[in-house]
A and B are shown apart, each in its own frame.
Chain A
Amino acid sequence: AQSVTQLDSQVPVFEEAPVELRCNYSSSVSVYLFWYVQYPNQGLQLLLKYLSGSTLVESINGFEAEFNKSQTSFHLRKPSVHISDTAEYFCAVSDRGANNLFFGTGTRLTVIP
């Protein structure tokens, strides 16, 4: 069975500073990996995903994540955060070929002006 660990429940960071949100997973099979973002009172939105190919994936708003198979990690990074990045971020994993997603507990990113 899969599981996802997001060690940091809250991450405060100053505006324009870099940030890393950590995600580790466990699975006995090959997986797909996702990061979702949830803004207040909104649904989850897909930020980026790793299915295959290059282990470094990027989103359109400057986030990137790198799949590290040996460390079973999929950490999310951004070199310079904005106030608008304040949100809840969820890491998720899915077995290849499966329908469902397993989520981490989420990390609340708060960008401080």
Chain B
Amino acid sequence: GAVVSQHPSRVICKSGTSVKIECRSLDFQATTMFWYRQFPKQSLMLMATSNEGSKATYEQGVEKDKFLINHASLTLSTLTVTSAHPEDSSFYICSAKTGPSGDYGYTFGSGTRLTVV
């Protein structure tokens, strides 16, 4: 079946530095990928929709300049947290749409636990 690989699974960084998270579709082409953020005991919140070859669509309240998304190929989307601060510490999850329109097949990565110290 469709597999989405997310890397790294855990990262600790210093405040003020940038961190890049990768999301790869291993055995299918993903024209659309999604980035979510999950706070403890809260829902997964959609941050942005990443479209291959075009700019990402950000949800209201998500800072575009802080969370840079690049979807340069059909198998890779990256999320870069720039100038990270402790409040950016969270669990980030990506997903890719695998089915044709209307099938609603989504495959999720295993998530990245970001801790900013």
Given contacts A43-B6, A51-B104, contact A101 B46 (CB under 8 A): yes
B67 at the interface (CB under 8 A from A): no
Which residue in chain A gives the minimum CB-CB distance to B94?
A: A43
B56 at the interface (CB under 8 A from A): no
The distance in angstroms between the C-alpha atoms of A100 and B59, with both chains bound, is: 11
Residues of A within 8 A of B41 (CB): 9, 105-106
Do A100 and B46 touch across chains, with their CB atoms under 8 A apart?
A: yes
**Residues of chain A at the chain B interface (Cβ within 8 Å):** 4, 9, 32, 34, 36, 41-46, 49, 51, 90, 94, 99-106
Given contacts A94-B104, A105-B43, contact A99 B9 (CB under 8 A): no
The distance in angstroms between the C-alpha atoms of A102 and B4, with both chains bound, is: 20
Residues of A within 8 A of B78 (CB): none
Binds A, one of B13-21, B69-77, B107-115: B107-115
Which residue in chain A gives the minimum CB-CB distance to B34?
A: A100
Given contacts A99-B32, A99-B49, contact A43 B43 (CB under 8 A): no
Task: Give the dominant DSSP class at B's interface.
Answer: strand
Which residue in chain A gives the minimum CB-CB distance to B36?
A: A103
The distance in angstroms between the C-alpha atoms of A46 and B96, with both chains bound, is: 13
Additional A-B contact list (4), CB under 8 Å, known A43-B107, A106-B41: A42-B110, A99-B34, A101-B106, A102-B43
As a 0/1 sequence over residues 1 to 15 of chain B, the CB contacts with chain A under 8 angstroms (1 = contact) are: 000101001000000
The distance in angstroms between the C-alpha atoms of A56 and B104, with both chains bound, is: 18
Do A46 and B105 touch across chains, with their CB atoms under 8 A apart?
A: yes
B93 at the interface (CB under 8 A from A): yes
The distance in angstroms between the C-alpha atoms of A106 and B42, with both chains bound, is: 8
List, sorted by A's number, 21 A–B pairs whose CB atoms are closer than 8 Å. A36-B108, A41-B110, A43-B4, A43-B107, A43-B109, A44-B108, A49-B104, A51-B102, A51-B104, A94-B104, A99-B49, A99-B97, A100-B34, A101-B34, A101-B106, A102-B46, A103-B43, A105-B41, A105-B42, A106-B41, A106-B43
Q: Which of B34, B43, B104, B110 contacts A32 (CB 8 A)?
A: B104
Closest Cβ of chain A: how far from B30's Cβ, in Å? Answer: 12
